[in-house]
Amino acid sequence: MARQAPLSGVTIGRVMLLCPRCRHAYRGSQRVCPRDEAVLVAPATVDSRIGTVIGNHKLVDMLGTGGMGAVYLGEHIYIGTRAAIKILHEQHAAESDAVTRLLQEARAAAAIGHGNIVAVSDFGETHDGLAYIVMEYVEGRPLDALLEESAPLPLFRAINIVNQIGSALGAAHQKGIVHRDLKPENVMLGDFGEVYVLDWGIAKVLHGHETPLDDTIDLPGDSPATRAGTVLGTPSYMAPERRHGDADPRSDVFALGVILNEMLSDEATLSIAPELVAIVERACKVSSNIRRSCRCTISARRPTASSTSR
């Protein structure tokens, strides 16, 4: 269980501000939304969920947003303990895929059960019909916020972070679960040096392993979290061969390598953009061995905004 400090004492790098137009969340020194140039505001001024009660938790602040949902800091109304509560974005409310992924996230975390994976304790639906999960709250900040502020990191710090992520991935892979969306915004750093891998919503179960994911999820109107022919993930961290659909434990290791490179350089490696992969594939006339044969990476300056979308 992550150790928790008192609620006060917010420091730079973890102040969360929201764009009043696009509702994107930003941390750190960002004051204006780079997407639409609106001045960022405190979440409570534009987010009507803050102050409301969901299940047994009162939402007291926003912790971040991603492609799937908004994550709030919740306080248990009877016990006073804190939790992180991820609520699906409204635009996903009607998509059974999205609900399935959220449930998948809870089940993957439970199936792996590892100290470097945030524990999920509940799954439910808000009054207005949005699925949510209740997670262990990590007092800290995501790796992307740290990198934006302090990259490159000292070698020992980077190795420590990689070790902890690798430990979570190792446990997942042993259970036949592949994360498939490993990237700095899906890694939380606790204030006491702990590292947690978040966001197992598009995790995949390898053939021959029995885990309570994918096939056994039996929500009404359910469909698999990964539709045939759909490639899920984030291109910058995706092994080139994943463009052809298949992920295995090596895909997570590739993403971890990209993260390590990002931690040790002051430039973000954008890895291989999908368009470039297509060009390289054609040029090299190889489809599955691009990484080994061509070793193509393009570097670009680290983006200035700590965007937290998937």
As measured in angstroms, the least distance from the Cβ of 71 to ligand ADP is 4
Q: Is 306 in the site for Mg ion (CB under 5 A)?
A: no
Write out the binding residues for Mg ion, residues 59-78 only, by CB under 5 A. Answer: 66
Which among 294, 287, 249, 248 is positioned nearest to 271, based on CA atoms?
294
252 is known as an active-site residue: no
Q: Which does 104 bind (CB under 5 to 8 A by kind): ligand ADP, Mg ion, none?
A: none
Site string for ligand ADP, 189-218 (x = CB under 6 A): ---------xx-x-----------------
Among 30, 104, 116, 186, binds Mg ion (CB under 5 A): 186
**Cβ closer to ligand ADP: 119 or 290?**
119
3-class SS of residue 7: coil
Assign 3-class secondary structure to 98-167: HHHHHHHHHHHHHHHCCCCECCEEEEEECCCCCEEEEEECCCEEEHHHHHHHHCCCCHHHHHHHHHHHHH
Which among 82, 99, 120 is positioned nearest to 224, based on CA atoms?
99
Which among 244, 229, 310, 227 is positioned nearest to 278, based on CA atoms?
244
Tell me which stretch binds Mg ion (CB under 5 A): 3-11, 143-151, 179-187, 251-259: 179-187
**Cβ closer to Mg ion: 184 or 291?**
184
**Torsion on CA atoms 110, 113, 118, 121, rounded to nearest 10:** 40
Does residue 154 have a cis bond before it (omega within 30 degrees)? no
Q: Is 138 in the site for ligand ADP (CB under 6 A)?
A: yes
Tell me which stretch binds ligand ADP (CB under 6 A): 48-56, 129-137, 150-158, 232-240: 129-137
Give the integer Cα–Cα distance in Å for 186 and 123.
20
Q: Which two tokens stand for residue 90?
A: 């409204």
Q: Is 233 in the site for ligand ADP (CB under 6 A)?
A: no
As measured in angstroms, the least distance from the Cβ of 95 to ligand ADP is 13
**Cβ closer to ligand ADP: 271 or 308?**
308
Q: Which residue is nearest to Mg ion (CB)?
A: 66
Residue with tokens 């368009």: 275
Give the integer Cα–Cα distance in Å for 308 and 25.
7
Catalytically active residues are 181
* Residues engaged in binding ligand ADP (CB under 6 A): 63-69, 71, 84, 86, 118, 135-138, 142, 185-186, 188, 198-199, 201, 308, 310
